[in-house]
């Protein structure tokens, strides 16, 4: 039976993505199932976008049309096979001439400013965009959160740097790790989480501080960070949740190597989720802190917003200054943000949500993490000012303040 037009287009799309992973990365697979070369539709879409970036949109459109033409000649092939794989590979190789560099388009995402080698410490994060967004947020939502991350850490005195896949690929073990992750059916999102370990381990980045881009500073000013980094070893400030870490490059590389060697292989049960968080927890339990070189394994990061529910009906949650000062930063994870909004009623006021069903409000609470992060940091600054005023008053009265 001949393939329908939509199925042909889907096969052409998958063929293009397969070409990116196999031809341009110089792998030489036999005619095999496309599903073995692609982990998900996210990978296919990401591959297509990368090809557009590398060869230009017109060249990719031409390849898509010609690939579709080749597939028309192989209509009896099973839908998970491409019988004319060699023809398609040859077609791709014939097109593999990079066009002239186009003028760079303005990115919706913040970019790293030039790092001052003599400046304050750098807070790194890792972000590799997923076309169309992912993980409960739109592209715009991710961009807003990333900008909030950058701005709030810089307000606390840090330089910031946003690492990407390009940084991770400089590590000699990138392909080794990524093949293991593919074999373990790790999702595209969780692959990116592993890539940040590689990026932090490269000589170019040289280790140091790293936080999730949904981890926002509370009490961790750059001066305190400078004191922390004087201590040697691997320091995780949220135990096995890698949302705020400081380590030397050697320590980053050591933990990364342990992870690579410990990633489970083979057919894993569906309930086994391979993430860098679970791998860090596994290593802590089975390798132990001494072998890992851990010198700090703390609980210094707040889970969600350090706020109290509204004191009166119709009021708004208010920051708990005493609670906020106890934590270096706040991790605004999907789970904790939804819980703050839907259960604890501690989600800060960011102007309210439109009149939408409850389920959409929950989604919007994740989407609006950028504005809510900025509101939290502004409220934290109010806490600092209040504390400074109380210290000044206590000093004037000759008393010793009991607060920080």
Local confidence pLDDT in tens for the 404 residues of the chain:
444 454 445 555 555 555 554 444 444 343 333 333 444 445 555 666 666 666 667 766 776 666 656 555 544 444 334 444 455 555 555 544 444 444 444 456 776 678 999 999 999 999 998 777 787 888 899 999 999 999 999 999 999 999 999 999 999 999 999 999 998 889 888 999 999 999 999 999 999 999 999 999 999 999 999 999 999 999 999 999 999 999 999 999 999 999 999 998 766 665 668 999 999 999 999 999 999 999 999 999 999 999 999 988 888 999 999 999 999 999 999 999 999 998 999 999 997 665 555 667 778 899 999 999 999 999 999 999 999 998 888 888 876 555 44
Report the C-alpha gap between 242 and 212 in whole angstroms: 7
SS3 assignment, position 333: coil
C-alpha closest to that of 307 among 366, 349, 363, 244: 349
Report the C-alpha gap between 316 and 119 in whole angstroms: 39
Q: Give the 3-state secondary structure of 145-179.
A: HHHHHHHHHHHCCCEEEEECHHHHCCCCCHHHHHH
Please, which residues have CB within 8 angstroms of residue 388's CB and are 6 or more apart in sequence?
A: none
Report the C-alpha gap between 188 and 135 in whole angstroms: 11
Say what the pTM is.
0.72
Q: Distance of CA 258 to CAs 224, 253, 291, Å?
A: 29, 9, 10
Q: Which residue has the tokens 């706020």?
A: 307
């Amino acid at each position: 039976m001949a393939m329908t037009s939509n199925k042909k287009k889907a096969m052409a799309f998958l063929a293009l993505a397969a070409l990116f992973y196999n031809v341009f990365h110089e792998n030489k697979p036999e005619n095999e199932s496309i599903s073995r070369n692609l982990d998900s539709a996210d990978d296919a879409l990401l591959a297509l976008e990368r090809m557009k970036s590398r060869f230009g949109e017109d060249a990719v459109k031409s390849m898509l049309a010609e690939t579709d033409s080749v597939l028309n000649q192989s209509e009896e092939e099973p839908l998970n096979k491409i019988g004319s794989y060699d023809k398609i590979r040859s077609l791709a190789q014939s097109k593999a001439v990079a066009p002239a560099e186009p003028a760079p388009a303005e990115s919706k995402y913040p970019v790293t400013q030039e790092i001052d080698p003599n400046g304050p410490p750098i807070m790194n994060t890792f972000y590799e965009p997923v076309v169309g967004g992912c993980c409960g947020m739109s592209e715009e939502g991710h961009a807003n959160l990333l900008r909030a991350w950058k701005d709030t850490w810089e307000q606390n005195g840090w330089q910031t740097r946003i690492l990407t896949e390009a940084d991770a690929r400089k590590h000699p073990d990138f392909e080794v790790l990524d093949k293991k992750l593919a074999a373990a059916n790790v999702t595209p999102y969780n692959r990116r989480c592993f890539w940040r370990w590689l990026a932090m381990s490269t000589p170019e980045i040289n280790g140091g501080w790293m936080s999730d881009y949904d981890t926002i500073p509370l009490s961790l000013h750059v001066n305190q960070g400078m004191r922390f980094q004087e201590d040697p070893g691997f320091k995780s400030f949220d135990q096995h949740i890698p949302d705020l870490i400081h380590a030397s490059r050697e320590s980053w590389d050591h933990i990364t190597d342990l992870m690579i060697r410990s990633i489970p292989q083979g057919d894993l049960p569906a309930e086994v989720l391979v993430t860098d968080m679970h791998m860090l927890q596994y290593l802590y339990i089975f390798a132990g802190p001494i072998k890992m070189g851990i010198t700090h394994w703390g609980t210094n990061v707040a889970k969600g917003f350090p706020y109290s529910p509204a004191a009166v009906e119709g009021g708004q949650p208010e920051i708990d200054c005493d609670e906020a000062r106890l934590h270096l930063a706040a991790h605004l994870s999907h789970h904790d943000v939804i819980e703050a909004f839907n259960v604890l009623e501690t989600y800060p006021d960011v102007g309210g949500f439109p009149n939408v069903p409850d389920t959409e409000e929950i989604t919007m609470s994740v989407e609006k993490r950028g504005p809510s992060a900025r509101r939290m940091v502004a409220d934290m600054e109010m806490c600092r000012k209040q504390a400074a005023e109380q210290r000044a008053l206590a000093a004037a009265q000759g008393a010793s303040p009991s607060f920080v």
